[in-house]
Chain A
């Protein structure tokens, strides 16, 4: 019984930490636990949640993708440029433009990463480092370094719109971006935890040789996972563009760090083999809560970065020490 509790705690430590953080910030600040702030939080963590959802697949494989931030920016630029072609778009058109841009740009970037890693055996760190520079560079080249302005208001519906309007909240309560993120995350979580493909991802990350000898097409699994990671990064990027109602070549700078942090905080092991999309989202929540809490406490954003990185390191050290103990 005792060991069962221990196992549950170590598995769900991220949830417990999140609750503790909420209590701490809630006690030290009146606005933190207000409904409005909490809903804001879900919208703030959405972009990171999208990036982390796909990244989880890659990290479970024992790989890494540090290009997600740049790919997101490039997808955002692409969606904004495509949006300019439709000066008076409806909400439906805007959604199609955004999602297609995100999926295509993200998918292609991820496919290139996957191809480099599986066909040419370039290590993931170097492959995605190159992709990080290429995607960022393309974003600047395509825009000449200038933001892409002049988009229809409907373009902003996905990223900034809200549903269920009431008298006290005429702008609406639930952010569309939260719902969109929830759907994508749910699909990714299902894919990883309920399908044969998902199980193969775990198997490859757990022991590549065993997976191969069990008849699993290892390269296919790695390739598809990178494509998925690119697609969710692209979707993250179009959400940012929609939210800002413009395309920024400098968008999502450094987001890869937050996405990796969220994934690792969610218990996905950097050596591969274990992890979960659902728990990575709790990791996102922790980061969002810390940022939000520190904002409310008026701590400078420079310090926030330092704190986040310190938390990642702590999470990785914890993960490694657990791995050592189990051996």
Chain B
């Protein structure tokens, strides 16, 4: 059998990082080819290259033996490569038919929209897929699973030869997953090549023919699914040496700082209970979408929760806004520092003192500019923030230094409990290492850190204790001795 799509020696580098290194994979028609790997392994970079979003630094994309040079997603689409993203691209206010034909609407001779043909053809596809949907239904009224079916109907009408599915089952129930698999089988019969990204290893054995494992941007192996076991795949997904990089220190657990009991928010997380102590780093692991960030946002008062309670130093507290959380000495370092962490057009000084201004105001609500200057300079020094002076605009700093500014901000606000959400995302190795020692310093002085991270080595290297979340629940707790990549993946992966 001839491969329909080949990537050959593909590399992709971004400023400072090599996201993919020399990847070569063949994809065959009528097969489901799974791509697996941890977050950051390079899966999404690879599909972005295949679908024309990124242009590879080196290497070729070969379709039916012909080399392609996609400059944009449109060109890839015209060649029959479709992507169904995790975040569905359905226009809510259009009908099913209008969504299916979006961008390829049939027109009458007079140039007006041919709604009749559109509705008829759309209904034909829906019936062929044996869906109980009407072409004239509004997309808004469909469930997530039904919307996904509309995406597949789109792919069928476009007669795509290659379909990329990015975690298509992440928001579906078991029943809906079975319906999805039926549609995938129909696509297979039509000789479509499917590239299937998933974190649920069990699905490999149900629906996939071939599997490719990526790790750190490298191609680890490609096998027929019938020739491998789940354990073997997990083993090739992990397996990295963890050196001294994390400045791992043994901390002494102090008193209880934060206790969360039965925290529940509908459709986000359920029955979350845990304790965090002074003098420890509590790591929270799990797949993207497991509800980790949502729980932390609820603890910080950023979003509401339906049930449960929060206790700080043993006393129940009501936290309904970040202001109250800060008053209880909690600080939050969000996962997206550019969007929710920093005022990028403002100075270091202005960012660093923002949560503490009210506490340090002078009579009449005036700013204490001397204090501002003093404390900013002091912390720039302490945390070794590399910038000309405290008046430097944040935009001009590196990611690592920006992250230090956020940390300084919460240290100045006298936080005792720090919630760090993906604290080292997108910063280079040295900055990471420095950041870990700053975390250690904070904990040594009796601080309490709760760190959400998708990087397993980081979780294992830094945490004194690890909680694993799966689908909105805590699926297990591991001591630092028990926490290995294997044991965490086991708890984090969805087996059913």
A interface residues, Cβ below 8 angstroms from B = 194-200, 202-203, 206-207, 209-217, 273-274, 326-327
Contacts and interface: CB of A to CB of B under 8 A. Distances in A.
Given A213-B302, A215-B323, A196 B366 contact: yes
Nearest to A326: B395
The main secondary structure of chain A at its interface with chain B is: helix
B339 A214 contact: no
Interface in B377-404: 393, 395
A215 B345 contact: no
B357 A273 contact: no
B1 to A, nearest CB: 48
B474 interface: no
Contacts of B365: 195-197
B367 A213 contact: no
B334 interface: yes
A196 B365 CA distance: 6
Contact of A210 (B341, B358, B364, B393): B341
B367 A207 contact: no
B80 interface: no
A61 to B, nearest CB: 13
B143 interface: no
B361 A206 contact: no
Identify which of B327, B343, B355, B409 gathers the most chain A CB atoms within 10 Å of its CB. Answer: B343
A217 B357 CA distance: 13
A216 B345 CA distance: 18
A214 B395 contact: no
Contacts of B339: 207, 209
Given A213-B322, A215-B323, A203 B343 contact: yes
17 contacts: A195-B364, A196-B358, A196-B365, A197-B365, A202-B350, A203-B350, A206-B346, A207-B342, A207-B344, A210-B341, A210-B354, A212-B322, A213-B332, A213-B334, A213-B340, A215-B323, A273-B343
- In this complex, the member of B327, B342, B354 whose beta carbon has the largest number of chain A beta carbons within 10 angstroms is B354
A41 to B, nearest CB: 33
Contacts of A273: 343, 345-346
A196 B323 contact: no
Assign chain B's interface to a size class: 20 to 34
A80 B393 CA distance: 49
A207 B302 CA distance: 15
Contacts of A202: 346, 350
A199 B367 contact: yes
Nearest to A205: B343
Contact of A199 (B357, B364, B393, B395): B357
A198 B409 CA distance: 19
B358 A274 contact: no
A194 B366 contact: yes
Q: Return the 3 tightest CB-CB contacts between A and B, nearest first.
A: A206-B343, A215-B326, A215-B323
A197 B409 CA distance: 18
B343 A194 contact: no
B322 A206 contact: no
Contacts of B332: 213
Contacts of A195: 361, 364-367
Contact of A209 (B340, B346, B367, B395): B340
Contact of B345 (A198, A209, A326): A326
A134 to B, nearest CB: 31
Contacts of B393: 326
Given A209-B339, A213-B334, A217-B323, A203 B367 contact: no
Contacts of A196: 357-358, 361, 365-367
Interface in B324-355: 325-327, 332, 334, 339-346, 350, 354-355
Nearest to B342: A210
A214 B408 CA distance: 13
A311 B252 CA distance: 65
B345 A210 contact: no
Given A196-B361, A196-B366, A274-B345, A211 B395 contact: no
A225 to B, nearest CB: 15
Contacts of B367: 194-196, 198-199
A195 B357 CA distance: 9
Contacts of B334: 213
A214 B326 contact: yes
A216 B353 CA distance: 12
